[in-house]
């Protein structure tokens, strides 16, 4: 029976890694800092480089997020505006409020800040409902009134 030398070497390397890791974690922060200074490592310079790197990474991430938002806004602006069939939308609105008489009064009063004409608010509310997806079956192929 032959021994698998690769397997033995892999185990030895894993054991060595584990030993080094244990030694590193057993070393106190003060000892690590002292050894770094003895080896000529400028810890202040290293810290400043690290902070600068983090700052630059944050800026790049921010620019990437901003570019993604701009792309989304451009896609949204490129969409054709929804054309709303106000008669169908008004019917759907009435279905939404059916059975709740108070809701219609409260909603239109809130939209008007409790003054003005409820009928004048209707078109704006219908467009808002369609935009929010509450009126899903508005006919987008037919031009509005």
Asked if residue 99 and residue 72 are part of one domain, the reply reads no
pLDDT of the residue at 145 = 44
Taking only the tens place, the pLDDT of each residue in 42-92 is 999 999 999 999 999 999 999 999 999 999 999 988 988 767 777 887 787
Q: How many separate domains does the chain show?
A: 3
Token pair of 115, please? 């003054």
Residue range of the domain that includes 69? 42-79
- 105 found inside a domain: yes
- 119 found inside a domain: yes
């Amino acid at each position: 029976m032959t021994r698998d030398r690769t397997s033995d070497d892999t185990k030895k390397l894993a054991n060595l890694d584990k030993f080094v890791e244990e030694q590193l974690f057993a070393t106190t922060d003060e000892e690590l800092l002292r050894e770094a200074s003895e080896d000529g490592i400028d810890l202040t310079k290293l810290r400043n480089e690290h902070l600068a790197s983090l700052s630059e990474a944050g800026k790049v991430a921010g620019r990437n997020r901003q570019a993604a938002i701009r792309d989304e806004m451009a896609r949204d602006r490129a969409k054709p505006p929804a054309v709303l069939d106000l008669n169908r939308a008004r019917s759907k609105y009435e279905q939404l409020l059916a059975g709740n008489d108070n809701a219609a009064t409260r909603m239109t009063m809130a939209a008007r800040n409790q003054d003005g004409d409820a009928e004048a608010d209707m078109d704006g509310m219908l467009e808002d409902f369609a935009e929010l997806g509450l009126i899903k079956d508005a006919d987008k192929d037919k031009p509005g009134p």
